[in-house]
Structure formats: structure tokens, C-alpha cells
Structure 1
């Protein structure tokens, strides 16, 4: 018995205090490689694992949608990372819908918001806006629309960023709150491939948040390049969205418009 007690004391001295504590929350990330998005996966995984250690949350990172057949209630939020909802089977979709109705939360990143119109209207409404088309990847100026929202706290008021600035529409008339916009005068919204046409939106949101069912949803259209997932400002943007979606905390009403 003395030997066991001595061993426990030794382990307590060796392990950091955080090893004995429960994580603040759990985040599930679904990241499935596809034709246009695969190089980001090892970079994003490494960066998200670092954020999980830094901010004391538990991360489950997977490319297997069968995880949606398990108990999603253990996760404070589910992230679709460049992975659209169409990757889920009908049964997995029903489980995710039940998770959101039960108070679950979602983070949708870049390619994940592109859905075939009418294939899963519920997911289209969860995203809040639908993908129309995107010009060629360009450098532009992203502006902060809501300085009181956590996904803007690590960003300058005007941010030089290179991405596919998705053109979106709102066919389901979902009420969303814009977090970031892109200044269309800072790049060419019509620069696109032969045979395709892209037009300026005018008011051009590139990140937003809203409520769906009984949960919080954060969406960012940014994140095309793999190198984005090494960029401290982009990761601050992503972390702010994760933090708010998972906890509902951090909203600075004094900083909002």
C-alpha cells in the first residue's frame, strides 16, 4: 500500500496539473479530403491540436463520418472543416439534426458551406447563406463588421487577406449577423474562369453567426489555402468562432455596432 501511495505521489509530481483536470469543453472536427481541399488537413490538425492544448479543450479530429453515429451530446460544438454536410448519410444527418435541436452547436469553415441546392435544406438553413460562385483566389481587404464578436478580436479593422471570396445568397431568408465583410473595391470580383460569370455583391459578408434550432452557428468562408492554418490572425479568427460556438461566452456588447 505504501508503494502504491508513493507511486501516486510520484505521478502527481511528474504530470502537470492540467492532466488531472477535465477539459473546458469538447470539439468534434470532421475533415474529409476532397478534390480541391486536402493539403490543409495535416496543417489544420496540428494547429487545432495546439489550440486545444493552449486553451484546454478536448479535440476529436477525424475524417470518418461514422463518428456521427455515436453520442454527439458529449461535444460542445461540431466543426465541418472544408467538409460539406453531404458527406453524412441520411441516418447521420438525422442524428446531427437531433444534436442541434438538443442544444448542440456548429462551426462551418470554407468549402463546408457549399451544398447542392435542395439536397439537404435543413443544412442550408444551418449555414444561413448558400454558395453561388467564387472568383479566382485574390488578395483583398477584409473588414471587421462586428468588433464585439470573439472571431474578430485578433484581427485589425482592415485585414489584408488572400482567399476565394465566395459569392453567397440567402434563398431561405435566414437572419444572420455579419462578422466580417470583404471590401469589393480591393480586388476584382469579376475575375473568374472562362465561361463563368461572377458579379459584385455590394454588401459582401465572408463570416457570420446566427442561431439554428436550439444552437449557435458560426460560419467563415475563409480558409482555402493550407498555409492559412499556420497564420496567427486566421487562427485567432477561427478560435474566436470555436470559443463562442462552444460556450456562448466572450460577446463584447460594448464593442459591437
Structure 2
């Protein structure tokens, strides 16, 4: 599921800044490389991000080339790995990203970007905060708000009907995270999977979005966002924008 498929879109670098407002609040780097299972969403997600950027006065550089990590990352308030895991970076680029986070940079991990081969880059696994085990078939379930003080939950119902791949996760590095959204495993079949594979329930503690600190930076992770229609969905985009806002600025958490 990690191999890049060769087609015209992948061959064209998209490392061009979005149309930005003069008084932009912050700037993102968005890495989105098409792969076998995630490519149709790309033009839709980019269009939705452009609309969010105009609405919320930020700018972003969208790229499908990891060479963007060879440049100056300090200009970005956050780096978003959009359905693209960190394993795509070469050793030099990985080192530059690690240095960026140690200097106070921030990261946003979306869906497929949370999946990386165990042991391939342990530092990145710790940045994500949880390690992917497997996922059952895409199903409709009930996503629940775990932290209503966090911006990625603002505007979301307490119980949200959503269809996605609800990842089964492990925590081999004992990373402490703050869950933002959970999924209610009684609302779908966590064992429903393809022949020859086994998926086991995680139980009551099944986060699908969370945040934590890594090195000196903020990290927001959402494992939601599998197919193209999700990047047109206002509720999902509200969730994603809340994560972007907090990650880039450190603001917006409601005091309890």
C-alpha cells in the first residue's frame, strides 16, 4: 500500500504556493504523494485547502516532491503529511525534518500518513504517537468527542456518524497522547476484514484523532480521511481546520 503509482499527476511537481492573502497568518508545507490507494482525493483536497486558506488567511505550499524538505523548513508554521507517510523522505530529508521539529516546528499527520513500516524510522513512529497494526473494511460507525476543549472538535456533534477505515493501533514506544476523537466499536464490526487477515477490537480506548508534543513541536494526528468525498465534507473539513489552526499557532484550546 506504500508504493507510488506512475502516472501523469505524480510526474508533475506541485510545489507552488497557493493564492495567499497579503496578511497571511502562517504558512504550511503540504506533502501529498499519490499512491495505489490514495490519489483521487488530491485535486479535491487541494481545492478545499485553498478555500480554507482564503477564508482563514493562511497560505500553503503544496507539493508531491520530497525535495521540498531539502529547502528551508523554518518558513513553515507546520508541515502536513497528507496521506503520505514520512518513509518517503530520504535520510538527509529525514534529518532536516527532525532538526525542524527540534527547533520548534510542528506536524500534522492525516490518515495514510500514520502508516509506516515498523522500525523503518522509529523517530517518525514516535512523532505519530501510535503505530498502525491493521484496519478492518471501511464501515459506518459512531465517532465520539474525547476532548471538547480542543479546536479539532469544535462544531462536531458529540456522536458523529462517519464512514472510514478505523485503524487498529499499538503503542510500542509508550508515547503519551491526548485523544481528540474516539470511535465506538459497538457501532461497527471491528473484525470485518478480508479473507486471510485478522482484525481484533481495541476496546473502549480506540482513538481516531489525537494531539501531543514531540521534540519541541506540536503534533496533530487524524486517522480519518480515506476517500475523496471526505475532502468535500464540511464537518470533516471543520475537524481538519481545527487541527491545522492549533498545530500552526498553538491557540484555540478552551480552558476547562
TM-score past 0.5 threshold: yes
Q: What is the TM-score normalised by the length of structure 1?
A: 0.91
Alignment of 1:1-257 (within 5 A): 21-202=22-203, 203-254=205-256
Structure 2 vs 1, CA of residues 227 and 95 (structure 1 numbering), >3 Å: closer, same or farther? Answer: same
Structure 2 vs 1, CA of residues 147 and 56 (structure 1 numbering), >3 Å: closer, same or farther? Answer: same
| CA distance in 2 between partners of 1:143 and 1:41 (Å) | 27
**3-state SS of the aligned residue for 1:154?**
coil
Gaps of 5+ in 1: 1-17
| CA distance in 1 between partners of 2:64 and 2:255 (Å) | 37
Q: What is the TM-score normalised by the length of structure 2?
A: 0.91
Kindly report structure 1 stretches of 4+ aligned residues shifted beyond 4 Å: none
Structure 2 vs 1, CA of residues 19 and 207 (structure 1 numbering), >3 Å: closer, same or farther? Answer: closer
| CA distance in 2 between partners of 1:98 and 1:139 (Å) | 40
| CA distance in 1 between partners of 2:94 and 2:23 (Å) | 29
Q: Give the structure with the larger helix fraction.
A: 1
| CA distance in 1 between partners of 2:99 and 2:138 (Å) | 36
| CA distance in 2 between partners of 1:46 and 1:136 (Å) | 28
Gaps of 5+ in 2: 1-18
| CA distance in 1 between partners of 2:181 and 2:20 (Å) | 37
| CA distance in 1 between partners of 2:83 and 2:151 (Å) | 21
* Structure 1 residue 59 displacement after superposition: 1.1
Structure 2 vs 1, CA of residues 197 and 215 (structure 1 numbering), >3 Å: closer, same or farther? Answer: same
| CA distance in 2 between partners of 1:242 and 1:129 (Å) | 19
Q: Number of paired residues?
A: 237
